[in-house]
Structure 1
Amino acid sequence: MASRLPLLLLLIAVTCLSQFYRVSNSVIAPELTRDLDLSARQLGWAGSAFFFALFAVQIPVGMWFDRFGARRTVAALSLLAMLGSLWIARAADAADLIAGRTIVGIGCAASFMSVVFLCSRWFEQARLATALSWVFAASNIGTLAAATPLAWVAGTVGWRHGFLGLAAVTLLVAVGFLAFVRDRPPEYLGPEARKETPAEILRGLWEVWRTPGLGPVLSMHFFAYATMLTVLGVWGGPYLYDVHKLDGVERGNVLLAMGVAQILGILAYGPMDRVLRSRKKVVFGGAAISMVLLAVMALMANPPLWLAVMLLVAFCFFCAYGTVIVAQGRALFPDRLAGRGVTTVNMAQCLGLAVLPAGTGYIVEAFGSGDTAYRWVFATLAGGLALGSIAYVRARDSATG
């Protein structure tokens, strides 16, 4: 385990940054709206821009993983994330914010899949979901930092200075990843992967897309994490501001609690596939409870603050089952296709993260940013989870024991 510690710490660092960038818009949404004169639709697109960028480059990232390794790919792309953070810090309008988040999204495109790619080589398959849960749970330090701490920074020195500091941190993490991460464990004695020709890379990608059982996993993955992050990372802050009139730090405190709940949920789900000897049961259970909580929020008009907070926190806990889907997706592919396989699975998540925030932005704008608008958002997200679950019925289980 000691030999794996530098790897785990740097994987946590690079995913912390990605998490911060993902959800940072939520807590400072009113300030962004004021300073950049944003509409609800533009705010939704700014939330989605990050994930459209992630989606657009997943296939190249998978090819780069298999050809150049995760170490060099993540370090190089992180430099783009730094530039995107600087762009956001200098944003003058909605176009600048969307452009900056697009660049950051490209820069973070390899972060989470590097965890799956590297942990699948450094940890045995039966413990992969648990290892992923450690890293993904710890990565939510970035989510927590984008809550009350970012609200405090925005209120004291301004959100622009916060993104300038974040650019410097991103550069340090990129350098550290290049210097200390290795693509294979030191005890690995097998031959290094042969460098494939471009034609062989494309044939491997085609093989990935023809993998039996891939479609149902992609269908569930489209909605699972995207649903949770649409609430936590995009509309949680505006909902608390528009409906419950919370100020920046108060919103940050609630989002902090939601982020902590997500961390605890990830840790709880991590070993559940081994306890139940089924990943499919874990995913179905998490999706069902999440749908019920969203339905309750959709049906209740103007709930008291304490109840709204309780439901939001519970939702973030129970909707944290995405790592189990990731482990299930990774189990579909041999090691030689690991990079292309995990990034193909991640494309579904990225597409969901791009579509749901933007789509719900139109709902919020159509209903006037009030209680009714957010109830329709919750109902739409519950319906999406239901559709994903219906398709997931046909998924091939990858039981562990």
Structure 2
Amino acid sequence: MYLCLLSAFALSQAYRTVTSIIAAGLQADFGISPDSLGAFAGLFGLSFGVTQLLMGIGMDLYGLRRTVLVAFPLAGLGAAVSALAPGYGWLMVGQLLIGVGCSPAFLACTVFVSRHFPAQRFAFFSGVGMGVGGLGLLFTGTPLAWMVQHGGWRAGFAVLAVFSLLSWLLIFLRVHEPALAQAAQGPRESWVQAAGRFGSLLKVPHTWGIPILGMTCYAAFLTLRGLWLGPLLMGRYGFSLIDSGNVALVLSMLALFVPAAFGRMDPGPTRRRRWITHFSLLMGSLFLLLAFWHHATANVALIFLMGLLSGYGVLQYADVRSSYPAEMTGRALSLYTMSMFLGVALMQSLTGLLAAWAQRHGHEPYQAVMVSIACMLAAASTAFRFLPRSPLLGRGAA
């Protein structure tokens, strides 16, 4: 069942990174500016993040299977709308549908792990899931680049629509949950009551540092991989679309293995937060190097190093899992996932605006993008380090 749920997550990974390969085609067909391109990419994260609250409540009330089966068809519909889009406005409609449809995909996987595996193995199995989900990133590397070069960007969306239908059928046929023992649990909560339980998380002092860092760490890597990788390599160094796709493919292959590796290296709750802070600051330093070190081979090496480091995100999920009592875990994971994708929307839109501003003033847009990402990582890491931590983590977590 876990692998079937991961098929939807893999497609979600493909959808959220498709822009870096199709960006040139969209700009050629519709004359999209850098800020409009950033808004297009960011709309996935915005619609994905905003609907996390509803998806989390849906999973609590109706289960993982029903929630995914109801929402995920919207992703396939959005891909079909995008493939047929006559203009930029319809592209945005398609992106909105895709984001909503994909929104329960990874949350369902993390909730499944939290319910079916022991807490001390949460980081490892979450890492395995993130690695398997990385198969979707492989598609948006060389395969998508080849497809776009020979058949256009619309063909990529059409193939994703077909894959989405197959994934939905797989989940429908293979994923089954035990019937809820409603009599034992008492009356089912209303949506208002369930939403109130989510709101109670914001009253917990140690909650605030978690989403602040969550809004930046994943967003930083995804903004590079999903939006600026292709434009950077083609615009700064004259890479071809296939060359950029090859770099994306290698980066995606790294993403298959590093989350499980970081999950296996998990130092435990007392030292995990310190590790997360250091890895986040290191990632920010790599973005600064990418901004100012203009050398093609060195930049590709830095990008691959970022890919190796990106797996530390699984430690953040483990930190959320350890920071709350069992009855709050589902809500906390949902809130954290929501913060991640709202951060993606914010960062991709903001970097698009900064790139357009830099271009208008005669500066290199990619340098402005990378510096801004590095600054956001540094600020969020500092907040995470000094804001209150959960009393459940022990003294060594500071």
Give the distance between the partners of 2:98 and 2:191, measured in 1 at CA. Answer: 27
Q: Is contact 1:222–1:349 with CA below 8 Å preserved after alignment?
A: yes
Change over 3 Å in CA distance of 1:59–1:276 after alignment to 2: closer
Establish whether residue 359 from structure 1 lines up as the match of residue 350 from structure 2.
yes
Give the distance between the partners of 2:274 and 2:91, measured in 1 at CA. Answer: 40
Q: Counterparts in 2 of 1:338-353, with a 5 A limit? A: 338-353=329-344
Give the distance between the partners of 1:75 and 1:396, measured in 2 at CA. Answer: 36
What residue in structure 2 maps to residue 243 of structure 1?
Answer: 236
What residue in structure 1 maps to residue 377 of structure 2?
Answer: 385
Q: Is contact 2:126–2:260 with CA below 8 Å preserved after alignment?
A: no
Establish whether residue 35 from structure 1 lines up as the match of residue 29 from structure 2.
yes
Change over 3 Å in CA distance of 1:376–1:144 after alignment to 2: same
Cα shift at 1:374: 0.8
What residue in structure 2 maps to residue 253 of structure 1?
Answer: 246
Give the distance between the partners of 2:82 and 2:186, measured in 1 at CA. Answer: 39
What residue in structure 2 maps to residue 3 of structure 1?
Answer: none
Gaps of at least 5 residues in structure 1 are 1-6
- Paired residue total: 390
Cα shift at 1:146: 0.6
Q: Is contact 1:272–1:282 with CA below 8 Å preserved after alignment?
A: no
Q: What is the letter of the counterpart of residue 8 of structure 1?
A: Y
What residue in structure 1 maps to residue 210 of structure 2?
Answer: 217
Cα shift at 1:282: 2.3
Cα shift at 1:41: 1.1
In the alignment, which of 111, 117, 123 is matched to residue 105 of structure 2?
A: 111
What residue in structure 2 maps to residue 170 of structure 1?
Answer: 164
Deviations 1:207-256 (A, max 9, x none): 22223411111111010000000011101111111111111111100111
What residue in structure 2 maps to residue 156 of structure 1?
Answer: 150
Cα shift at 1:289: 1.4
Establish whether residue 64 from structure 1 lines up as the match of residue 64 from structure 2.
no
Establish whether residue 47 from structure 1 lines up as the match of residue 41 from structure 2.
yes
What residue in structure 2 maps to residue 269 of structure 1?
Answer: 262
Change over 3 Å in CA distance of 1:263–1:282 after alignment to 2: farther
What residue in structure 2 maps to residue 374 of structure 1?
Answer: 366
Give the distance between the partners of 2:308 and 2:187, measured in 1 at CA. Answer: 42
Give the distance between the partners of 1:30 and 1:198, measured in 2 at CA. Answer: 43
Q: What is the letter of the counterpart of residue 231 of structure 1?
A: L
Give the distance between the partners of 2:192 and 2:231, measured in 1 at CA. Answer: 48
Q: Counterparts in 2 of 1:297-336, with a 5 A limit? A: 297-300=290-293, 303-336=294-327
Deviations 1:97-127 (A, max 9, x none): 1221111000001111111111100110011
Cα shift at 1:324: 1.4
Computed over aligned residues only, the root mean square deviation of the Cα atoms, in angstroms, reads 2.4
Q: Is contact 2:25–2:152 with CA below 8 Å preserved after alignment?
A: no
Q: Is contact 1:221–1:349 with CA below 8 Å preserved after alignment?
A: yes
Q: Is contact 1:37–1:94 with CA below 8 Å preserved after alignment?
A: no
Give the distance between the partners of 1:317 and 1:209, measured in 2 at CA. Answer: 33
Question: 1:350 aligns to what SS in structure 2?
Answer: helix
Q: What is the letter of the counterpart of residue 340 of structure 1?
A: R
Gaps of at least 5 residues in structure 2 are none
What residue in structure 2 maps to residue 91 of structure 1?
Answer: 85
Q: 1 or 2, which has the higher helix percentage?
A: 2
What residue in structure 2 maps to residue 278 of structure 1?
Answer: 271
**TM-score between the two structures when normalised by the length of structure 2:** 0.92
Give the distance between the partners of 1:378 and 1:348, measured in 2 at CA. Answer: 21
Q: What is the letter of the counterpart of residue 381 of structure 1?
A: I
Cα shift at 1:84: 0.2
Q: What is the letter of the counterpart of residue 350 of structure 2?
A: G
Q: Is contact 1:299–1:375 with CA below 8 Å preserved after alignment?
A: yes
Q: Is contact 2:2–2:112 with CA below 8 Å preserved after alignment?
A: no
Between 193-202 and 388-397, report the one with greater CA deviation.
193-202
Establish whether residue 100 from structure 1 lines up as the match of residue 91 from structure 2.
no
**TM-score between the two structures when normalised by the length of structure 1:** 0.91
Cα shift at 1:340: 2.8
Q: What is the letter of the counterpart of residue 84 of structure 1?
A: G
Deviations 1:127-182 (A, max 9, x none): 10110000101111101111100011112222212211211211121122133223
Give the distance between the partners of 1:41 and 1:166, measured in 2 at CA. Answer: 25
Question: 2:323 aligns to what SS in structure 1?
Answer: coil
Give the distance between the partners of 2:139 and 2:363, measured in 1 at CA. Answer: 27
Give the distance between the partners of 1:284 and 1:267, measured in 2 at CA. Answer: 19
What residue in structure 2 maps to residue 129 of structure 1?
Answer: 123
What residue in structure 1 maps to residue 71 of structure 2?
Answer: 77
Q: What is the letter of the counterpart of residue 378 of structure 2?
A: A
Give the distance between the partners of 1:366 and 1:203, measured in 2 at CA. Answer: 41
Q: Is contact 1:150–1:162 with CA below 8 Å preserved after alignment?
A: yes
Give the distance between the partners of 2:376 and 2:256, measured in 1 at CA. Answer: 23
Q: What is the letter of the counterpart of residue 108 of structure 2?
A: S
